[in-house]
Structure 1
């Protein structure tokens, strides 16, 4: 009887220790979940979008004053951004736009080079002509902007 009572008491202590051990093992996961949730709460939505995005509230079209880059804003944009704040946002819009143009220009050049390479490799003159005629509109627009920025 004494032995059975001692076994029950040891099992209760092991269960308590096991619960604590489980909590210690789950602690890193719980910390990650809490930090992730807090970081999501701290992230704010940008005040603009380079494309029309009704789901984010960016439905009103504007243009930057310097490069005339189109962008979309929410209903309260005019109230929240004036003076230097507006200039900062417009500068960000133009930087994002130029960055997108650079990426798209690189993609267009890669696509054109790929077609030219295939045309040469297979001796396909029609494909070669098509590749030669292929435009690179992002590169053209990037060149126009560079002239404005340099001039």
Structure 2
């Protein structure tokens, strides 16, 4: 229906009188060439495809990664100046980023690192609380002690990092 305005059919259309019917005129006979009509109908789809392609070309990947990613070219390991967070960059990173642009990138790396620590800390706390809940619900003391011993290393690193940042910034 979208492309042709309806399904082509030559089915008769019956009127109110039981023995008479009228043949429905075929739309294709009335449209003539249809090339411009087809183009106008396809225009919204073409616009969506073009806008999507342009937006994909305009989005650039970040110049760094917190993990080594050879598929993107982030293979060279570096450390941020303040927090000593390891990150990976491409071959041309040193030429493209110097001075204030390098400081901006390193600040972004550290912000991403802290965001990852927060996320991982939340997950670790959720796992620990879930284990504690199950231990209490089932009355399992060994599971309870396991949950009590369970560490939250991301939370510890986050706490240390935040203390450092408070003193530094």
Instruction: Give the CA deviation at 1:36.
Output: 0.5
Counterpart Cα distance in 1 of 2:32 and 2:132: 71
Counterpart Cα distance in 1 of 2:121 and 2:147: 15
Q: Which has the higher helix share?
A: 1
Instruction: Give the CA deviation at 1:20.
Output: 3.4
Q: Map 1:2-151 to 2 at 5 A.
A: 11=29, 14-17=31-34, 19-151=35-167
Counterpart Cα distance in 2 of 1:50 and 1:73: 9
- Does the residue aligned with 2:71 lie in a helix, a strand or coil? helix
Counterpart Cα distance in 2 of 1:138 and 1:53: 22
Instruction: Give the CA deviation at 1:27.
Output: 1.5
TM-score w.r.t. the length of structure 1 is 0.88
Counterpart Cα distance in 2 of 1:23 and 1:80: 45
Greater RCO (CA < 8 Å, at least 6 residues apart): 1
Instruction: Give the CA deviation at 1:21.
Output: 3.4
| The structure with more radius of gyration | 2
| Number of equivalent positions | 141
- Does the residue aligned with 1:54 lie in a helix, a strand or coil? coil
TM-score w.r.t. the length of structure 2 is 0.79
Instruction: Give the CA deviation at 1:122.
Output: 0.3
Q: CA RMSD in A?
A: 1.6
| Runs (5+) with no aligned partner, structure 1 | 1-9
Counterpart Cα distance in 1 of 2:31 and 2:74: 58
